[in-house]
Amino acid sequence: MLRKPLYLKSLRDHARGIAGWVGGIILIVVVQLSVYPTIRDSAEGWSELTKQFPKALQEIFRMSDYGSERGYLSTELLSFIVPFIFIGLGCTWGARVTTEDEESGAADVALGLPISRHSYVATRMVAMFSVLLLAGVSFFCTLSVGARILNMSISLSDYAVASLTLTAVAIFFASLATCFGALWGKRTMALGVAMATAIALFILYSLAPLVDFLEPTTKVNPIQWTIGSQPLTNGFDPAYMFWTVALSVLFGALTFVLYQRRDISS
């Protein structure tokens, strides 16, 4: 079902972009780890300082015991910047899966070959998942090696859970963007709506602890299911991960149905 030449072409055409995304993730992890020794040397002072931050800020960024290893890494790497890089990467690739060849005028050539639409979409989706997995593995390796150099006591399994969580949130929004792309056939529209959805869900996730009537939304918010579950502190949450994967599979299945039914122009 999968077509190796198409898979390799999908990766080769965006090799520089992949390198940029992965390099950015590695650089952010390295920078944040390089700052940690300063935090560790005055952990008590930093913990007291963060407690003086406005309660709203503490809740939005889920600040807890900032001076500790888990608290620092959770706040700096798993609360905002890195998750949004993964989400952005997922949305960018997801929006391309069913729209890139059509917008470039190559759809008639690609789909004129002896390959079904299902095989075409499946192959490009596997290429997308490969990129997201590469990002997750890069995050895990950089964090694990850096933490070992700094003599952090967190286990590799905890780093693996954090990396898996970031990859899962990326796959979720990638599947959503892929579905929008199959529906409309416009990359910019699919990317824009997927990112807007991610931002809206993150705002709900951030405000839920501060606004009583928003608190119930955390139970159905994919951001809460992933980074909101505090994987580095609380470990793996099977129920949350199940729903994240289940919805990703659902959006992926809808992508096949929508693309099969849509008229393709080039």
More confident residue, 43 or 201: 201
pLDDT of res. 108:
62
Query: Which of 19-33, 43-57, 218-232 holds the top average pLDDT?
Result: 19-33
Q: Is 52's pLDDT higher than 80?
A: no
Confidence band (pLDDT; 50, 70, 90) for 46? low
State the average pLDDT over residues 247-253. 98
SS (H, E, C) the chain: CCCHHHHHHHHHCCHHHHHHHHHHHHHHHHHHHHHHHHHHHCHHHHHHHHHCCCHHHHHHCCCCCCCCHHHHHHHHHCCCHHHHHHHHHHHHHHHHHCCHHHHHCCHHHHHHCCCCHHHHHHHHHHHHHHHHHHHHHHHHHHHHHHHHHCCCCCCHHHHHHHHHHHHHHHHHHHHHHHHHHHHHCCHHHHHHHHHHHHHHHHHHHHHCCCCHHHHHHHHHCHHHHCHHHCHHHHCCCHHHHHHHHHHHHHHHHHHHHHHHHCCCCC
Q: What is the pLDDT of residue 175?
A: 98
Q: Is the pLDDT of residue 245 over 80?
A: yes
Q: What is the predicted pLDDT for the residue at 116?
A: 85
Residue pLDDT, tens place only, 27-37: 999 999 999 99
Please tell me which residue, 244 or 230, carries the higher pLDDT value. 244
pLDDT given at position 54: 61
Please determine, for residue 48, whether its predicted confidence score (pLDDT) is greater than 70.
Answer: no
Mean pLDDT of 8-31: 96
* pLDDT at residue 210 tops 60: yes
pLDDT over 90 (residue 184): yes
